[in-house]
Amino acid sequence: MSNFTPPSTYKAYAFTEKGGSLKQLTFDWKDPQLVPTHRSPVAYSDEVVKHQSMPQVKYPLVPGHEIIGDVVAIPSTEQHWKLGQRVGGGWHGGHCGVCNRCRVGDFITCDKEDINGIARHGGYAEFVTLRTEAVVGIPGDMDPAEVAPLLCAGVTTFISLRNMNCKPPDIVAIQGIGGLGHLGVQFAKAMGYRTIALSSSQAKRDLALSLGAHFYIAGSPEEQAAALQEFGGAKVIMTTAPDSQSVQTLISGLGIEGELLVLGLAGQISFDSVSMIIKRHSVRGWPSGIPTDIEACVLFAKTHGIKTMVEIFSLDQANEAYERCGSAQFRAVIVP
């Protein structure tokens, strides 16, 4: 990569107004550290950019927070990352280092967290600039299209489950067998939990079982919760689908001291405080992961043969890929 000659400009797709479509824009090349975007999956949370539902979003903004590429330019002050190295970037785009959360090393909850594709330009582009403390090392022998979804969807399911109050062979149920859920099933199985997949119909039964689910429960949230109680109740129910009604109903499928792990952007949710008190239930969320979390997730996936399911789109198909979010099997990945 030492003979790389930066172009004067590069192409990207960005949202330029609230509720609008992605538009092709041209950006001037700016040093220092940049990586060419090999792969950038489309995530449901990219809706945040389109609808400006977080205050950090300022137009025009290039979305995309699951990014993999090779380093082609670095500043003279860079001490860790090398030219030609395969790297990536997830949701966490950087931290201030001085707030109370940073002082205890909890960078993902930094008061001034930078977010790739939300507070700074992301991966729907030929090149993207990443902050050095937020860069992730990626093995060069893994398919970047399959690895890219691990940088947010994967690490969110992986690191959150590692931090729940459960131990194998406890029951872990995963609601929604989509972009996050199909990875959650594989991680739960590989970690040694009795893994139960939850879905509204029988359509994904064979898929869920092939991914490693020991059991598959189809039906309404009420039926799923009742079926989980026949197993003695789940220790953890991981909810990945953005459906508030399902989420608030599924809590009744937990066993004593069970935890409802909310990962899908489901909006406002209500719970029955009586049952929560009687059975000591907890409701928790989890905000993705920092680079070391992602590197652990990628290594775990490589070791246990965990695979993401993707559909490939060119950069010029960015709008089509975005519209496929939620229906693609299971991550629409943009390749410049």
- What pLDDT does residue 96 have? 97
Span 196-217, mean pLDDT?
97
* pLDDT > 70? residue 2: no
pTM for the whole structure: 0.93
- What pLDDT does residue 326 have? 60
Query: 237 and 250 in contact (C-beta within 8 Å)?
Result: yes
pLDDT, averaged across the chain? 92
Span 147-163, mean pLDDT?
96
* pLDDT > 80? residue 193: yes
Percent of the chain with pLDDT over 70: 96
Listed residue (258, 261, 256) closest to 279, CA to CA: 256
* pLDDT > 60? residue 280: yes
- What pLDDT does residue 40 have? 74
- What pLDDT does residue 32 have? 63
Span 83-102, mean pLDDT?
96
pLDDT digits (tens, 9 = 90+) for 110-140: 999 999 999 999 999 999 999 999 999 999 9
Give 267 or 255, the one with higher predicted confidence: 255
Span 68-93, mean pLDDT?
92
Which structural domains are found in the chain, ordered by start? 9-150+289-335 (3.90.180.10), 164-285 (3.40.50.720)
* pLDDT > 60? residue 100: yes
Place of tokens 């519209």: 323
pLDDT digits (tens, 9 = 90+) for 15-56: 999 999 999 999 999 876 567 777 777 776 788 899 898 899
- What pLDDT does residue 33 have? 57
- What pLDDT does residue 329 have? 65
Span 199-204, mean pLDDT?
95
* pLDDT > 90? residue 328: no
Q: Which of 72-81, 122-131, 230-239 is modeled with the greatest confidence?
A: 230-239
* pLDDT > 70? residue 198: yes
- What pLDDT does residue 45 have? 73
